Chain A
Amino acid sequence: MHNPLAIVGRFFLGFLATIGRLSVFTGKSLAAVVSPPFYWRLCLQQMMTIGYYSLPVVGMTALFTGAVLALQIYLGSARFGAESAVPNIVVVGLTRELGPVLAGLMLGGRVGAAIAAELGTMKVTEQLDALITLQTNPFRYLVVPRLIAATVTTPILVLIADIIGVMGGYLVGIHRLDFNSAVYLKNTFDFLEVMDVTSGLVKAAVFGFLIALMGCYHGFNSKGGAQGVGRATTDAVVSSLILILISNYLVTEAFFSQ
């Protein structure tokens, strides 16, 4: 029972089993994406709940991140007289990293939890069973609209976050750090490369997919009553945040290692 090897072994087997179940779930979801029927109405509805209603929280995050970034970079770069680099570093930092990652983390909390709680409740109240008896595939009806909506809307949200974040940096730059407005904007756009933005948007799409996938997976696998749904919600949030951070590193490697 307390043999350390046995504990490690059991943990490892459990880990493999989870990977297996998750792979099956992902496979079923992707198969459902490409097989009709496709529920347009539900997909648009999910885009509203996942995308539109997340705008305030993502916008606030971006605004203050951009602002604090400008302050910190100014303080740091002033030590070696490189204050003029503030606009460039702010925009590159936001588009490559902070925009997608912070938006992803906020969405993981907001959207991942909501999906897991909704689908988990449907599971424990037999609504998923009822769907099946009414000849409706829960993967097509519930999972696909959420996956597509999250994968499509997260990059849009991140693009908006990038713009708002740059604006936050700009406001601090001209009001607190005495930058000239035209110079700040010129430096921002002159040094920005297309790759900076697109890599951030690709990350965002990956994060959106992972958030919806974790929410659906944990929701569908919740057991028991309210307690089970609570556990599913926590698991969905924690696992999506960890996967966001891991995949962020992997996508960054893929983009910038060459």
Chain B
Amino acid sequence: MTFPQRNLPNDTHAMNETPRLELTDVHKSFGTKVVLNGLNLSLAKGESVVVIGGSGTGKSVMLKCILGLLRPDRGSIRIDGEETVGLRGAARERILTKVGMLFQSAALFDSLSVWENVAFGLIEGAGMAREQARIIALDKLAKVGLDEDMANGDPSALSGGMRKRVGLARAIATEPDIIFFDEPTTGLDPIMGDVINNLITECVRDLGATTLTITHDMSSARTIADRVAMLYGGQIIWAGGVDEIDHCDNPFVDQFIHGREEGPFALEVT
């Protein structure tokens, strides 16, 4: 499947600077099911990109390929210019020190307390002392609206939205260069959603982080994105500034952001 490729992410910023993250022609299939089919995406340093797309189009798979949790069948994924596909062991760990990730399911460790979850990257990854890591963890938890009582409790005692916020605190705890958020505001009330949006914006503004956010929440996308990219059919079929989405002539994007049932998206029953 090919699409009219206009506004490719690569030509929206200067080519002379190495992108923080660059995916070129990434393919990934599970058996006969093609999920990513020649995906191209590039993030400049300090940029906040939001990827939108229907459920099951491969957004989470794309993130797992970037993290090296899944190995793409073909294509290149560069972080700060360094090819990461196929990296393992110590080389992979070195790349991952630059990265933070909020999983769609939060993926908290249920054998550890809430604050130990947040401090995990600091203690095990960066080798920080527990006491110092605890202070930072409590600070990050406060930023996502969770107090010390909850920090000492078990993740299993939290609601879905709270778990999401703990996962977010864990993703930003080590202040990484690149942060991936897989549906950060899903399951949150609108006010807490706004708190999280601001937090993500703050990460970009204050820490200079580059963020790649997956969301179905268009108001969240409008708040945090510098650029929006739409994933469909295993490719980025449209990418452009956040101000362009309302009057772009791409029928897919138009249908998606207005949430209409009629349009080029066929309701795919498989």
Chain A residues close to B by CB (< 8 Å): 118, 121-122, 125-127, 129-137, 141
Contact = CB atoms under 8 A, between A and B. Distances in A.
25 contacts: A122-B109, A125-B105, A125-B107, A126-B103, A126-B105, A127-B109, A129-B64, A129-B67, A129-B103, A130-B101, A130-B107, A130-B108, A130-B109, A132-B96, A133-B67, A133-B96, A133-B99, A134-B96, A134-B120, A134-B121, A134-B124, A134-B125, A135-B121, A136-B120, A136-B124
B202 interface: no
Contacts of B124: 134-136, 141
Contacts of B14: none
B243 interface: no
B201 interface: no
Q: Which of B68, B97, B103 has the most CB of A within 10 A?
A: B103
Closest 8 A/B residue pairs (Cβ): A126-B107, A130-B107, A135-B125, A134-B121, A135-B93, A133-B101, A136-B124, A129-B69
A129 B69 CA distance: 7
Contacts of A137: 93
A129 B102 CA distance: 11
Interface of B: 64, 67-69, 93, 96-97, 99-101, 103, 105, 107-111, 120-121, 124-125, 170
Contacts of B69: 129, 132-133
Contacts of A118: 111
B32 to A, nearest CB: 18
A136 B121 CA distance: 8
A127 B112 CA distance: 12
A43 to B, nearest CB: 14
B79 to A, nearest CB: 13
Contacts of B170: 134
A29 to B, nearest CB: 15
B125 to A, nearest CB: 4
B96 A135 contact: yes
Contacts of A135: 93, 96-97, 121, 124-125
A231 B61 CA distance: 25
A129 B64 CA distance: 9
Nearest to B120: A134
A129 to B, nearest CB: 5
A126 B107 CA distance: 5
A136 B109 contact: no
A126 B60 CA distance: 12
Nearest to B95: A135
Nearest to B92: A132
Contacts of A132: 67-69, 96
A125 B155 CA distance: 13
Contacts of A133: 67, 69, 96, 99-101
A166 B108 CA distance: 47
Nearest to B171: A133
Contacts of B100: 133
A121 B69 CA distance: 17
B192 to A, nearest CB: 22
A133 B170 CA distance: 11
Contacts of B120: 134, 136
A136 B125 contact: yes
A77 B38 CA distance: 79
A129 B107 contact: yes
Nearest to B99: A133
Nearest to A141: B124
A126 B120 CA distance: 16
Nearest to A45: B111
Contacts of B125: 134-136
